[in-house]
Structure 1
Amino acid sequence: MIRSLAVALILALPAAAQDVARAPGALLRGLDKVSGRTTDLPLKVGEEARLGRLQVRLGECRYPAGNPSSDAYAQLTITDLSQNVTLFSGWMIASSPALSALDDARYDIWVISCQS
């Protein structure tokens, strides 16, 4: 509950302080903690990608309109296909990956940037 409120406040503050633009895609990075292998996941809005047993779906990507390379906010849904369970559904912030992170023993996924 508190985490959701904190994320909502953080997302609201930049939007109130500056203009936010929407991008048609995002670049995510996944880490397999067992093998140590990283995988880049370029996604367009509405697309899905697989990382092992996880399915990652990009709902939206936003960035500060005045500085596209400064930060990215991506709305993601991450599902464990082996158990048919949603592990993460919400916004991830590139500059603060630990604030709203995927909680999985094997995989980490984080936002790198919004992409055109």
Structure 2
Amino acid sequence: MMAAMLGLPSMASAQEWVARRTGEIQALDKVNARVMTLRAVVGEPARFGSLTILLRACHSRPADEVPDAAAFMEVTDSRSPQGSGPVFRGWMFADAPAVHMFEHPVYDLRILSCR
């Protein structure tokens, strides 16, 4: 109540994320040290090596807050046994990559931003 009277933003607005359409993903091939920045559009598959990355959601913080990005993605590997499902499915956070890491013997993926 006091924050509203002083014209300060409420706690609810400080925790909002903005849905975006495109995510920038850093991809690393650990075998040959190839690093690429992929642009993935929500709902459209992107490929890196034997991986197919499907970005389901990509969110960023509002422009007046500390930059951060969160992306929900599903990653499949064409080298995995048939019917084994995704090798990764979940949220990745740009500012906290260790929270939910993509673990793979050959590749590394990390969300950089959502635009």
Give the TM-score normalised by structure 2: 0.80
**What's 1:11 paired with?**
none
Specify the alignment match of 2:53 in structure 1: 56
Aligned-residue identity in percent: 33
The structure that has the greater radius of gyration is: 2
**1:34 aligned partner:** 31
Counterparts of 2:12 and 2:52 in 1: how far apart (Å)? 29
Structure 1 segments, 4+ long, off by >6 Å, are: none
SS in 2 for 1:86: coil
Partner of 2:38, secondary structure, is strand
User: How many residues are matched?
Assistant: 102
Across the aligned residues of Structure 1 and Structure 2, the Cα RMSD in angstroms comes to: 2.0
Residue 77 of structure 1 is aligned with which of 74, 94, 112?
74
More helix, by proportion:
1
**Partner in structure 2 of residue 19 of structure 1:** 16
Query: Could you tell me whether the CA contact under 8 Å between 1:77 and 1:90 is conserved in 2?
Result: yes
Ranges in structure 1 where 5+ consecutive residues have no aligned partner = 1-13
Q: When the two structures are superposed, what TM-score results if normalisation uses the length of structure 1?
A: 0.79
- Give structure 2 stretches of 5+ with no counterpart: 1-10
CA offsets, 1:64-93, max 9 Å, x none?
A: 124477100000000011224311001000
